[in-house]
Homo-oligomer: A and B are copies of this chain.
C-alpha cells in the first residue's frame, strides 16, 4: 500500500514500529559496509592460479624477457587481450598496471599540458558529466580544476540533446566521462542511437574533444540476458572522428582487484604521443603480471568462462537485494531502483531531499553506505535523492542484514518527511 494513502495515525503507528526495529539494530553493534564495488573473497579465489602460473617461463615469442625493464605499451600478447575488452586491434591498445584510474589521470594530465590549458588561457577547461556517475572521474576533474557540467541520464544513456547543445554553446568543453555499459551506478547500457551520436560529437567539437569511454564493466554480466554495446570506435572511424575516442578497461573485477592489469585504447597516432608523455614517468609496466594474465585468461573465450564464474557468485547477491527492496519498499511508492543486467551496483532514488539523512541514519547503527551525493560532481546531488548500493563484497548474510537496516532507515526518513508535511498542512489555517 502506498504510504501516501495511509492515515496520519497509521503513519505514526508504522513509524513507531520501524523506530523500535531501528533501536534493535543499534543494540546489535553492527559493522557492515555497502560502500564500494569490491569483489568478494570467493571471487578473488577464482584467480588464485595467477601466482605461479608462469612456471619459470618468462620469455615472449618475440624474445622479450618480461622480467627486465622496458616496453611502455605493454607486451603484445596482453595488448591483444586488451583488445578483447575494448573492441580494438592490439596495436591500438596499451597495457598498464593495476588501475585504469591511473590511465585516466595521466591522460587528462597529458591533454591539459598538450593542448587544453593553452586553449583555455585564463578561462576554465570544462567536462560533461552524465549523472549519477562515478565519483573518481569527478575527483580527477576537481583535482585539475576542470569545471564539471551535469548531464541527465535516461535508460538509453546520457541525454544527447543536452550534450550536443552544451557543446555548441561552449568551446571550452573538452570532454565527457562515460561508463557506457552497465554504468556506475545506474547499470544502464548506452543505446545504439546514443553511441552513434557520441561518435559524431567531434565533428563539431574537434579532435581535442575527448570521449573518456570507461568500459569498466564490459564483460561483467549478472543475468543470463546480456546488454550489448555498439562499438564506438568502429562508428567513429566511419565518421573520421576516431581521434576523439579514448577507451578504458581493466581486469580489476575479472582477476585480482588490486593486482590486475589495465587497458587504454585509442587511434595509433594518439597512442604514440601519449606513450612519449608516459616515458618521462616510467620505464615500463609490470610485464610479468601481464604475462600471468595472458596465460590465465588466454582469449575472449577464457574471459567469458571466468566471468560466468563471477556471475554465479554475485547474481544471488543482486537477487537478494532486489528481493529485500521489493519486499519492504515495493508497494509503498517511496523509492525507485535499478535491476541491472550487469555491473556492480544498484542505484536507488529516494523522495527528494532525504538521501543524505538515510545514509546518516544507517551509519549511526553501523551500516556504511556510499556518501549521498558521491555519484555527482562536487559531491552535490541537487535533488539529494540518489543512493548507490554495492552488494558484491559482503557475504550474503551480512548483505541481508545491511539491506534490512537500509530499508528501515529509508522508510523512517520518508515517513518523517510525509508526517511532517501532513502535520504542517493540518496546522495551517
Q: Which residues of A contact B (CB under 8 A)?
A: 36, 38-39, 41, 44, 47-48, 51-56, 58, 65-71, 97-99, 101-102, 105-106, 139-140, 143, 252, 256-259, 280-289, 292
Contact = CB atoms under 8 A, between A and B. Distances in A.
29 contacts: A36-B69, A38-B69, A44-B65, A44-B68, A48-B56, A48-B58, A51-B51, A51-B53, A51-B55, A52-B52, A52-B53, A52-B54, A67-B259, A69-B257, A98-B285, A101-B282, A105-B280, A105-B281, A106-B281, A139-B280, A140-B280, A258-B283, A258-B284, A258-B285, A258-B287, A258-B288, A259-B289, A286-B289, A289-B289
A152 to B, nearest CB: 26
A63 to B, nearest CB: 11
B54 A51 contact: yes
A258 B70 contact: yes
A143 B280 contact: yes
B48 A256 contact: no
Nearest to A260: B286
A82 B281 CA distance: 21
Contacts of A105: 280-282
A384 B292 CA distance: 45
Nearest first, the 9 A-B pairs at minimum CB distance are A52-B52, A105-B281, A259-B288, A67-B256, A44-B67, A143-B280, A259-B286, A69-B257, A51-B54
Nearest to A68: B257
Contacts of A70: 258
B41 A65 contact: yes
Contacts of A58: 44, 48
A69 B288 contact: no
A41 B56 CA distance: 13
Contacts of A48: 56, 58
Contacts of A143: 280
A255 to B, nearest CB: 9
A252 B69 contact: yes
Nearest to A113: B143
B67 A258 contact: yes
Contact of A101 (B140, B259, B281): B281
A139 B99 CA distance: 25
A279 to B, nearest CB: 8
Nearest to A108: B281
Contacts of A286: 97-98, 258-259, 286, 289
A283 to B, nearest CB: 6
Contacts of A36: 69
Contacts of A66: 258-259
A101 to B, nearest CB: 6
Contacts of A257: 67-69
A143 B113 CA distance: 10
Given A51-B54, A68-B257, A256-B288, A282 B99 contact: yes
A100 to B, nearest CB: 10
A11 to B, nearest CB: 42
A22 B125 CA distance: 58
A282 B102 contact: yes
A257 B252 CA distance: 24
A68 B38 contact: yes
